[in-house]
Amino acid sequence: MKIKQIRLSWFRGASENATLETNDKSLVVYGRNGTGKSSFVDGIEYILRNGHISHLAHEYSGRHHKHGVRNTHTPSGIPSTIGIDFSSGETVDMQIEPDGNFKSACSPAAFETEFSKLNFARVVLRQDEIANFMLKTKGEKYSALLPLLGLHSLEVRANNIRSIKSETMSASMLQRKQTDIIRQQAAKDAAFGDKSDEEIMQCLGDLHAFYKETKLPLDRDMLINELEDAEKTIISSFNQEHARHHELTSLLATKPQDVLKSIFEILDQTNSEVDEHINDKLSILESASTYTERLDPEETIPCPACGKKILANDFKEHVENEQKSLQDLRIIYMRRNEATDNLIALIRAIPTRLRTPKLTDWLSDPAQSDVVNKIEQLEGLDLKSLRRNITALQVITITDAITLICNHVNASTVASIPEVEKLVEDKKIISAAVNLKKLDELISDVANLELLESTLTKMEQEVRNEIRFLSDKIITEISNDIQELWSILHKDKPIEDISLHLPDDDKAIDICLKFHGVSQSSPRLTLSEGHKNSLGLCIFLTLAKRGENNNAPIILDDVVTSFDREHRGFLVNLLNQHFTERQIIIFTHDREWFAELRARLPQKKWSFKMLNLWKSPTEGINWLRSSGSLFAEARHLVSENPELAGNKARTVMDIEFSIAAESLRVSLPYLRSSRNDHRTSHEFVTRIAADAKKKYKLNDDGDYVPHNGAIEALQEAERLLVSWANAASHGHLITESEAEELINACESAYTSLSCPECNELVWLANQEGQKRLQCGCGHLRWKYG
Amino acid sequence: MANESDGSEEQAPYDSRVMEIIDDAQPRLGGATANILREIALDAASENELTQRTIQNVSASILSALNRKDSGDENKAD
């Protein structure tokens, strides 16, 4: 897959039209800071991340980055566009409306799948992303690398299973049912004590024998049914006095005073705002807990509460304690809800029980007029409102009413009727027995839900096991590649055994290595800034080589900022050795590296472009005319500022001819101390021109003869560099035509080192045995040694 | 399981490991619930995080299947 061109219109720094053409080759783009290089990278990111650009993800960019992606001077109503044309003929286009909404189109449509599968992080490497990656915690490294290892979909699956589990358990009211079991178990214990099932059956059998004369049924449920029937029969046979006594005693058997006592106790411990408070706190702690998983336990972090530096482990412990304390509080709140529910049930039950026809006479007795008033008071309560928020004052009022009613009921049941009272006591056992069946069903239901929960937990864990297994396998494979790439960038550096590894904690990846023979668990312990970034680059380039899309272009945006000259040079070797079949697009603001790449990369596969200074939003991004020429920038300045143009030309010559002298192995006289590093182009050109007379040959019908044209060009450049270029760089005036002549001479001198047949520089190939350099086709030769 | 030839440990494929977990639970959860869990475990299209609505629908299906099992009519036609 090769990018043919990237088209921008009113996107980021581009005005109406800015096109980056690759000519189907790899490409190096040079531009000073702010010339618009990154606009092209942003365009690719916007398409690959479906309308998202990481460095624009902040509060000021607005919805869909609408304040960031569009050129500030875009004419009203005009959309911004990004287009990528591929060498295969396919295209991808994105149109961004003024409100930030966007739509994409691919041609042909089927291509969308191939292109959209590309992982941005495998295609584009930016300097700041590499630096940031190396500084990330092992948890953040895990999140960054997982998609690149091709395991993101498994992580999504694990998260989906966790979400389904959480929702299912919440919808099933498992927690509520578990509490119900505890409550019903307590009711069972109250009725039957610590009796075994056999003893309970014996107890029910005794009751059956007392109330029924028929044969004892075998099944517990049938036994209970028969007892319920018997109880109803007896109650229906009561005379009026017994019936009244039964109703009143039954009411007292519900122990209204206990219900009132519970609500008072629990109101002392909590208030109505507690649940909201707990929910808020728990959601904050949930986020904090997720955050702590990403922290290195030994790392110090600023405490979110007080700002003091604390160990991550201490912070984690603090979060866990807070979570536990809130969970305890929630249990208290659940008890409060339960006590409120019981009170409301009592408020409903008392009027219902007392308004039964069996108590009509009792209630119409003038002595019970206060009871009637209190019943009416209870009936007038807004129970929904009470359930939401019950106050202590309301509880006191309700307690007064219920207590008065209970006192009257007590007074009316002073005279004992033993058979009625036995029935009321036995009824408690029968009711508890009825609840046994419900309890069994509840226990079975909860057991199923708990099994479901544990099955979903195991399923999620299996996905995580799979992620770990595959991560382990992949990172073992890629660790060798990382070490190999590192070895190219850092020959003879005593850093070895570089590998990614999975620490014991979940969701973590780190990098370990041996530094001067000593094992290190993180590169942050010993490596310099430049070496860390270099290691990060090796990791990402290794991952870019892997996977299904290992033919996709690789885009490197200013990735060598922290590299010294030597390592920038080794990066060229790395690209030449490992990425010969890939299209690579390099953006750089480093003039020297641009020159080096131009000198060392084969022209057949690489092209070179330079961006002009970006002047205004309406002018936008523009390329230097004759962008392929090293001297385009200098030429551009000739009419405007001849001195600056001359100086630019000399700067280009300083860089290019230092590389040329090194590549041609030209010996230079030794200078003391740092003066060796401050040589100028004049010295290089002089020595190269002198050596060229003996060493530089071109093929003339099979014979290699001195390259006189090149020698003349070099000598002319040498002459003008001494006179006009020195004048220009020291602030003296030179004319427009002098600047033009100087640039022409410099360009001719530089061009004379390239082959007119194959366009490659004379030092492209090295025939070491013959101590000879030559261009790609052998037309030019340089004998060294 | 142990690889007899070199003594190294080999892991059973994910699919079979997760199926074993669901198979073990099936007698108590019922066939319908187990089938939904199998779909979740092997959903090859899980490239994106599920929406809350989808999660709620899946959850409702699971509970419905579990209840059908409890009421003993999970094999009846819907």
Q: Is the pLDDT of residue A768 over 50?
A: yes
CA–CA separation, A401 and A370 (whole Å): 9
- Predicted pLDDT at B8: 45
Q: How far does the CA of residue B18 sit from the closest CA of chain A (Å)? A: 6
CB pair distance less than 8 Å for A167 and B59: yes
Residue A659: CB atoms within 10 A of its CB come to: 21
CA–CA separation, A175 and A338 (whole Å): 13
3-state per-residue secondary structure call for A90-155: CEEEEEECCCCCEEEEEECCCHHHHHHCCCHHHHEEEHHHHHHHHHCCHHHHHHHHCCCCCCHHHH
Q: What's the whole-number mean pLDDT along residues A434-461? A: 92
Q: Which residues contact A303 (CB under 8 A, 6 or more apart)?
A: A309, A310, A315
**Which of A42-51, A244-253, A369-378, A520-529 has the weakest average pLDDT?**
A520-529
CA–CA separation, A418 and A600 (whole Å): 112
**Which one has a higher pLDDT value, A524 or A666?**
A666
Q: List, in sequence order, the alpha helices (H) in A490-526.
A: none
Q: Which residues of B touch A158 (CB under 8 A)?
A: none
CB pair distance less than 8 Å for A171 and B56: yes
- Predicted pLDDT at A271: 57
Residues of B with CB under 8 A from a CB of A: 11, 14, 17-18, 21-22, 25, 28-29, 33, 37, 40-41, 43, 46-50, 55-56, 58-60, 62-63, 66, 69-70
Q: Which residues of B touch A464 (CB under 8 A)?
A: none
CA–CA separation, A715 and A733 (whole Å): 23
- Predicted complex: ipTM over 0.90: no
Q: How far does the CA of residue A119 sit from the closest CA of chain B (Å)? A: 13
- Predicted pLDDT at B5: 41
Mean pLDDT computed over every residue of chain A: 83
A164 CB within 8 Å of a chain B CB? yes
Q: What's the whole-number mean pLDDT along residues A627-641? A: 80
- CB A781, CB A767: distance < 8 Å: no
Q: What's the whole-number mean pLDDT along residues A591-619? A: 83
- Predicted pLDDT at A406: 94
**Residue A754 DSSP class:** B
Whether cis (ω within 30° of 0) applies to the bond prior to A351 is no
List Cα–Cα distances, A460 to A4, A184, A286, A362, A463, in angstroms.
44, 33, 19, 64, 5
**Which of A47-51, A300-304, A362-366 has the weakest average pLDDT?**
A300-304
Q: Is the pLDDT of residue A675 over 60?
A: no
The one-letter amino acid code at A508 reads A
**Residue matched to tokens 């101390």:** A673
- CB A18, CB A621: distance < 8 Å: yes
The one-letter amino acid code at A559 reads V
**Which of A352-356, A545-549, A712-716 has the weakest average pLDDT?**
A545-549
**Residue A674 DSSP class:** G
CB pair distance less than 8 Å for B40 and A459: yes
Of A159, A168, A451, the CB nearest to B59: A168
Name the residue of chain A whose CA is nearest to B66's CA: A448
A116 CB within 8 Å of a chain B CB? no
Strand partners, A496: A514
- CB A141, CB A510: distance < 8 Å: yes
Q: Which residues of A touch B62 (CB under 8 A)?
A: 164, 168, 452
CB pair distance less than 8 Å for A459 and B17: no
Model pLDDT for residues A66-94, shown as the tens digit of each residue: 778 888 888 888 889 998 888 888 888 88
Q: What is the pTM of this model?
A: 0.60
Beta strands in A353-501 (DSSP E): 495-501
Q: Is the pLDDT of residue A445 over 70?
A: yes
List Cα–Cα distances, A584 to A14, A22, A552, A609, A724, in angstroms.
22, 10, 9, 14, 38
Q: Which residues of B touch A163 (CB under 8 A)?
A: 49-50, 55
**Residue matched to tokens 């004992």:** A416
Of B17, B18, B47, the CB nearest to A153: B47
**Residue matched to tokens 């979060």:** A319
Q: Is the pLDDT of residue A178 over 80?
A: yes
Question: Of A159, A449, A452, A457, which to mutate for an interface test with B (greatest number of B Cβ within 10 Å)?
Answer: A452
Q: Which helix (H) or strand (E) holds A226?
A: helix A220-237
Domains of chain A by residue range: 1-118+550-628, 174-451, 632-783
Six-digit token string for A726:
């020195």
Q: Which residues of B touch A171 (CB under 8 A)?
A: 56, 59-60, 63
Q: List, in sequence order, the alpha helices (H) in A556-616.
A: 565-578, 591-600
CA–CA separation, A369 and A366 (whole Å): 5
CA–CA separation, A219 and A197 (whole Å): 13
Residues found in chain A: 785
Q: Which residues contact A136 (CB under 8 A, 6 or more apart)?
A: A144
Q: Which residues of B touch A446 (CB under 8 A)?
A: none
**Residue matched to tokens 């300045």:** A637
Residue A57: CB atoms within 10 A of its CB come to: 11
A442 CB within 8 Å of a chain B CB? no
Six-digit token string for A344:
């409301």
Class of residue A394 by CB neighbours under 10 A (exposed 0-12, middle 13-18, buried 19+)? middle
Q: Are strands A3-9 and A80-86 parallel, antiparallel or unpaired?
A: antiparallel
- Predicted pLDDT at A338: 82
Of B14, B49, B63, the CB nearest to A168: B63
Of A157, A164, A452, the CB nearest to B29: A452
Question: Of A117, A119, A157, which to mutate for an interface test with B (greatest number of B Cβ within 10 Å)?
Answer: A157
Q: Is the pLDDT of residue B3 over 60?
A: no
Q: What's the whole-number mean pLDDT along residues A663-675? A: 71
Q: Give the CA dihedral A266, A268, A273, A275, nearest 10 degrees.
A: -30
CA–CA separation, A205 and A217 (whole Å): 9
- Predicted pLDDT at A598: 80
Q: What's the whole-number mean pLDDT along residues A155-181? A: 89
Q: Is the pLDDT of residue A65 over 50?
A: yes
Q: Give the CA dihedral A660, A664, A670, A676, nearest 10 degrees.
A: 20
Class of residue A108 by CB neighbours under 10 A (exposed 0-12, middle 13-18, buried 19+)? exposed
Model pLDDT for residues A291-314, shown as the tens digit of each residue: 766 666 666 776 665 666 777 777
- Predicted pLDDT at B1: 37
The one-letter amino acid code at A166 reads S
Identify the band that residue B78 occupies on the pLDDT scale cut at 50, 70 and 90: very low
CB pair distance less than 8 Å for B66 and A156: no
Distance of CA A401 to the CA centre of its chain: 60
Q: Is the pLDDT of residue B76 over 70?
A: no
Identify the band that residue B77 occupies on the pLDDT scale cut at 50, 70 and 90: very low
Name the residue of chain B whose CA is nearest to A157's CA: B46
Greatest mean pLDDT range, A99-103, A259-263, A350-354, A438-442: A350-354
CATH architecture entry for A1-118+550-628: 3-Layer(aba) Sandwich (3.40)
Q: Which helix (H) or strand (E) holds A19?
A: strand A18-21
Name the residue of chain A whose CA is nearest to B58's CA: A164
Residue A277: CB atoms within 10 A of its CB come to: 13
- Predicted pLDDT at A49: 81
Q: How far does the CA of residue B59 sit from the closest CA of chain A (Å)? A: 5
Q: Which residues of B touch A157 (CB under 8 A)?
A: 43, 46
Q: What's the whole-number mean pLDDT along residues A618-631? A: 75
- Predicted pLDDT at A383: 92
**Residue A193 DSSP class:** T
Of B22, B49, B56, the CB nearest to A160: B49
Closest of A2, A1, A43 to residue A19, by C-alpha: A43
- Predicted pLDDT at B4: 40
CA–CA separation, A393 and A374 (whole Å): 16
CA–CA separation, A54 and A74 (whole Å): 22
CA–CA separation, A488 and A452 (whole Å): 54
Widest CA span of chain B, in angstroms? 52
A462 CB within 8 Å of a chain B CB? yes
CA–CA separation, A512 and A525 (whole Å): 10
CA–CA separation, B35 and B18 (whole Å): 12
CA–CA separation, A47 and A104 (whole Å): 8
A177 CB within 8 Å of a chain B CB? no
CA angle A716, A718, A721 (to 5 degrees): 105
CA–CA separation, A254 and A174 (whole Å): 28
Q: Which residues of B touch A160 (CB under 8 A)?
A: 40, 43, 46, 49-50, 55
- CB A16, CB A73: distance < 8 Å: no
CA–CA separation, A15 and A7 (whole Å): 11
- Predicted pLDDT at A607: 87
**Which of A320-334, A339-353, A756-770, B26-40 has the weakest average pLDDT?**
A320-334
CA–CA separation, A496 and A516 (whole Å): 8
Mapped onto helix, strand or coil, the DSSP state of residue A49 is coil
Identify the band that residue A142 occupies on the pLDDT scale cut at 50, 70 and 90: confident
Q: What's the whole-number mean pLDDT along residues A340-366? A: 92
Q: What's the whole-number mean pLDDT along residues A624-642? A: 77
Q: Which helix (H) or strand (E) holds A634?
A: helix A632-637
Q: Which residues contact A742 (CB under 8 A, 6 or more apart)?
A: A646, A649, A720, A721, A724, A725, A728, A734
Widest CA span of chain A, in angstroms? 140
Model pLDDT for residues A532-588, shown as the tens digit of each residue: 888 888 888 888 877 655 678 888 888 877 777 777 778 877 887 888 888 899 999
Of B17, B43, B66, the CB nearest to A452: B66
Model pLDDT for residues B12-53, shown as the tens digit of each residue: 788 899 999 999 999 999 999 999 999 888 874 566 778 888
Identify the band that residue B7 occupies on the pLDDT scale cut at 50, 70 and 90: very low
Residues found in chain B: 78
CA–CA separation, A707 and A748 (whole Å): 13
Roughly what angle, to the nearest 10 degrees, separates helices A240-253 and A392-412? 150
Closest of A477, A495, A536, A473 to residue A136, by C-alpha: A536
CB pair distance less than 8 Å for B62 and A451: no
